[in-house]
Structure 1
Amino acid sequence: MSTLTLTAPGAAATATLRRLTDTVRDIARQPTLLLSWVVVLVAVAWAVVPDVFTDASPYEGDSALSFAPPGWGHPFGTDRLGRDLYSRAVHGASATLTATLIAVLVALTVGGLIGLVAGYFGRHVDTAVMRTVDVGLAIPSLLLAMVIVAMLGYSTRNIALAVGIASIASFARVMRAEVVRVVSSDYVEAADGVGARRAAVVLKHVLPNSMSSVLALAALEIGTSVLAVASLGFLGYGAPPPEPEWGLLVAEGRDFVGQYPWISVLPGVLIAALVLSSHRIATSFRRSHQETS
């Protein structure tokens, strides 16, 4: 008995290490996936420890260096106030990624709960809830987010809430479909048949077996939320200047694109790289989930 107790954790640890090694090996074999992970990890590092990557101030500038092109001292060049754009991009990653994370968590939590209720209880509850969700899906998410921000007030935090609320319907639809599939399975019907409490059935059987597709959607939604947060920041719904939010960085250079394109182009490249990289990683997650299921 003691041998089994000692060897089981070791076997589990070995299996976990083997899966991790296989995952790293698979990533290394795919150059685009490896590059995507590098981009995402660099963006996260910028958001967490920006001072490690630059010691320049994102707010203070030198008028003598206005519109300096990209070079050794200023990798992304400078803006009209002589502020270092690389430093502003690095420090701006925190606002953009934090807003993205909040938006995805709001959509996942609220949308998942709505879909769970609709799928588990069914009938009239399902009909009423999902018709409301259909209305939400019919409204363009960016337009809905703009309306919500206009109601809440202009700030990066309100952008995060607005983007999250605008994405709730998509998560509710996916969660509801998964719950309906799980509820009709034999083990859930057996649990109901032996008189198990509804809360226990939901927490032990329905919810854990319904989350895989919803989590895959959450991974995919990260890139979409980054783009939505940056778009609203570009339109002026986010933090006011001089905050270094990525969408605002693009907006600040739109009047100088013809003469000094790096002011808008380089922050725009960062946004595009992060969106494409997150989508590539989410696609790999979804493909591996489909192969194992």
Structure 2
Amino acid sequence: MAQVETQTVVQSKEKVSSPWRDAWKVLRKNKAAVIGFIIILFFIAIALLAPFITDYKYDEGVLTDKNKPPSAEHWFGTDYNGRDVFTRVVYGAQLSLWVGFFSVIGSIIVGTFFGLLAGYYGRWIDMLISRIFDIMLAFPSILLAIAIVAILGPSLQNALLAISIINVPTYGRLVRSRVLSLKEEEYVTAARAIGMKDSRILFRHILPNSLAPIIVTGTLGIATAIIEAASLGFLGLGAQAPEPEWGKMLADSRQYIQKAPWTVIYPGLSIMLTVLGFNLIGDGLRDALDPRMKN
């Protein structure tokens, strides 16, 4: 009898699944999300393997080979300086993904911290932080980024910093709204009743229950950050020559769009596919992590 009860307990434990495991099962069945994962993994792979994929250097060219069409020697053709476009697109994946990931990570860390403070403590802290967010959101994001880079100086690192700053309010307000609802839950009240410290309540109970919307918004935010980095690069405020950032490549080649369209097509396609991949993953995560989307 004891053995039967033990087997029953073991089987029941195996059947118990966490919300994250359930979300992963739903995500795997989402064909669009799977396609998004494949696209992003492809670009991550070529970014990591760039030195092994091409024999050319992204900053060296032969002027006698400038603006040559795609061929067996130069798969994506060459640009106005005789540089291999395929090589520059491959190395550009490193820069664009680097900016996308780290700018969003910075925005999430800072925005989450201030969102937790504003939502949990309220009163003048909430008012001060919320007004700062409102002021930042009153400006168009790209104009605010341009202003920050203009002050700091044009470079890829400053563009990354600017993109991180302009997106802080997005995550801060998201976390604040979650904290406002979660801090009224019974388990938070019980934690306060037993004398648990505020920091432990915030980072042990409230923050873990706020991760789902942060992850979804962060995934979509990577796509937005890549576009913003490309926009700053196109305006000459992001990556500087000879860095092969996709937006900078578009800006440098726009005057050759009729004579050498391949110099614009391939960087543009890279931006489009990368953004599409992150958007598909973000939509899939939203469907998988949002309880309202489940039957």
The TM-score, its normalising length taken from structure 1, stands at: 0.89
Task: State the Cα deviation string for residues 32-66 of structure 1 (Å, max 9, x = none).
Answer: 43332222111111222212322222122222321
Residue matched to 1:82: 82
Taking the aligned partners of 1:121 and 1:24, their CA distance within structure 2 comes to 35
| Cα distance, 1:115 vs structure 2 | 0.5
Aligned partners of 2:78 and 2:263 also within 8 Å: yes
Task: State the Cα deviation string for residues 10-42 of structure 1 (Å, max 9, x = none).
Answer: 959x999x8698467515xx2x43332222111
Identity of aligned residues (%): 34
- The residue type equivalent to 1:261 in the other structure is P
| Cα distance, 1:104 vs structure 2 | 0.3
Aligned partner of residue 207 in structure 2, secondary structure: helix
User: Is 2:105 the counterpart of 1:102?
Assistant: no
CA spacing shift, 1:48–1:182, aligned 2, 3 Å: same
Aligned partner of residue 263 in structure 2, secondary structure: helix
Residue matched to 2:285: 285
Taking the aligned partners of 1:209 and 1:20, their CA distance within structure 2 comes to 14
CA spacing shift, 1:21–1:196, aligned 2, 3 Å: closer
Of the two structures, which has the highest relative contact order with CA contacts closer than 8 Å and spacing of 6 or more? 2
User: Is 2:159 the counterpart of 1:151?
Assistant: no
Taking the aligned partners of 2:142 and 2:61, their CA distance within structure 1 comes to 34
User: Is 2:230 the counterpart of 1:227?
Assistant: no
Task: State the Cα deviation string for residues 115-147 of structure 1 (Å, max 9, x = none).
Answer: 100000012221221121111111111111111
Aligned partners of 2:23 and 2:289 also within 8 Å: no
Task: State the Cα deviation string for residues 186-230 of structure 1 (Å, max 9, x = none).
Answer: 110111122222122112211111222112111110100000011
Q: Which runs of 5+ in 2 are unaligned?
A: 1-5
Taking the aligned partners of 1:214 and 1:91, their CA distance within structure 2 comes to 29
The TM-score, its normalising length taken from structure 2, stands at: 0.89
- The residue type equivalent to 2:64 in the other structure is A
Aligned partners of 1:163 and 1:228 also within 8 Å: yes
| Cα distance, 1:171 vs structure 2 | 0.7
Aligned partner of residue 82 in structure 2, secondary structure: coil
Taking the aligned partners of 1:55 and 1:142, their CA distance within structure 2 comes to 36
Aligned partner of residue 226 in structure 1, secondary structure: helix
- The residue type equivalent to 1:115 in the other structure is G
| Cα distance, 1:239 vs structure 2 | 2.5
User: Is 2:168 the counterpart of 1:185?
Assistant: no
> Of 14, 23, 26, which aligns to 2:29?
26
Aligned partners of 1:252 and 1:263 also within 8 Å: no
Taking the aligned partners of 1:221 and 1:256, their CA distance within structure 2 comes to 32
Task: State the Cα deviation string for residues 141-185 of structure 1 (Å, max 9, x = none).
Answer: 111111111111111111111000000011111010011111011
CA spacing shift, 1:95–1:199, aligned 2, 3 Å: same
Q: Aligned residue pairs: how many?
A: 285
Taking the aligned partners of 1:23 and 1:73, their CA distance within structure 2 comes to 44
Single out whichever of 165-174 and 189-198 deviates more from structure 2: 189-198
Aligned partners of 1:250 and 1:264 also within 8 Å: yes
Q: Pairwise mapping of residues 1-293 of structure 1 onto structure 2 (< 5 A)?
A: 22=25, 25-27=28-30, 30=31, 32-291=32-291
- The residue type equivalent to 2:174 in the other structure is V
- The residue type equivalent to 1:172 in the other structure is G
- The residue type equivalent to 1:148 in the other structure is I
Taking the aligned partners of 1:158 and 1:119, their CA distance within structure 2 comes to 30
Taking the aligned partners of 2:23 and 2:57, their CA distance within structure 1 comes to 39
Taking the aligned partners of 2:249 and 2:92, their CA distance within structure 1 comes to 9
- The residue type equivalent to 1:26 in the other structure is K
Taking the aligned partners of 1:210 and 1:33, their CA distance within structure 2 comes to 22
Taking the aligned partners of 2:177 and 2:113, their CA distance within structure 1 comes to 13
Q: CA RMSD in A?
A: 2.6
